[in-house]
Amino acid sequence: MPVDKPGLEPQKEHVAEALRLVPSVGFDIDEVNDTLEGAAPDEIVRWALRTFGRGLIMSSSFGAESALMLHLVTRDAPDVPVVFLDTGYLFPETYQFAEELTQKLKLNLRVYGPKMTAARQEALYGRLWNGSDEDLAKYQQMNKVEPMDRALRELGATGWLAGLRRGQTEFRARLRVVEEQDGVFKVHPILGWSKQDIRDYMIAHDLPYHPLYHFGYRSIGDTHSTTPTTLDQDERDGRQLGEKRECGIHLPRTPEANASLKSSGL
């Protein structure tokens, strides 16, 4: 029988209480988090689907273990829009993996990319990822943050499923199951899962890893910011993403930054 978290049986009364916390306009985010903390991932997905309906989307990097979240979510929400950010600098294997999973899981894939091509960016600004912190921030803004903002806006998203885990970065360690980020509610079904939980789910459902995973690439992004790691290293050691080791789309912005983006039309 398929399992969602090894050794954890969903508590029916716990789930029923969570599903009752469905607002018509808003909800008490603290109450929701108190209820959903420790709930099985599939129940959290169903709560999000019930709560946000057609306003629910998910994002996927089609990275090392992305098949897990895609499988988990689309079992209950097969038509959910899956936002894939194509920076123009992904590995050929990533594009091939995305195509494989799109066909295998019949994904409602929505590909978003930067407004400026990679060639034009490099001609005008050089290789921003090799520059200062400000240059890297500009690269992230152009290639990841703006395209994701555009996807959220065009898809009318009010809820966003993301496969973040507390064990990945210091920033993610502080997250709750449901967070508000820049006017959209982020929902993290596997936030509390360990690496062993991930492995068990992947095996139980015969899900494929990214082709580069078996060559030591355990956290996979752009070609220029991804390197293989050894087993004694943290998986995020293979990503050159600045001090916070985040790509930008999962970091909340200040009110001043939001105002600046809105005034610039981004």
Catalytic residue from among 247, 248, 249, 250: 247
User: pTM of the prediction?
Assistant: 0.80
At 204, is the secondary structure helix, strand, or coil? helix
pLDDT tens-digit profile, the chain (266 residues): 344 444 333 444 444 444 444 443 378 999 999 999 989 999 999 999 999 999 999 999 999 999 999 999 999 999 999 999 999 999 999 999 999 999 999 999 999 999 999 999 999 999 999 999 899 989 999 999 999 999 999 999 999 999 998 877 787 788 999 999 888 999 999 999 999 999 999 999 999 999 999 998 888 999 998 888 767 666 656 566 544 444 456 555 444 334 333 322 22
CATH 3.40.50.620 fits domain 12-264 = yes
- What radius of gyration, in Å, describes the C-alpha atoms of the chain? 18
Residue 228 confidence (pLDDT): 80
- Cα–Cα distance measured from residue 200 to residue 167, given in angstroms and rounded to the nearest whole number: 17
* Nearby residues of 165 by Cβ (< 8 Å), 6 or more positions away: 172, 188, 190, 191, 192, 193
* Nearby residues of 154 by Cβ (< 8 Å), 6 or more positions away: none
151, two tokens: 């996807």
Residue 238 catalytic?
A: no
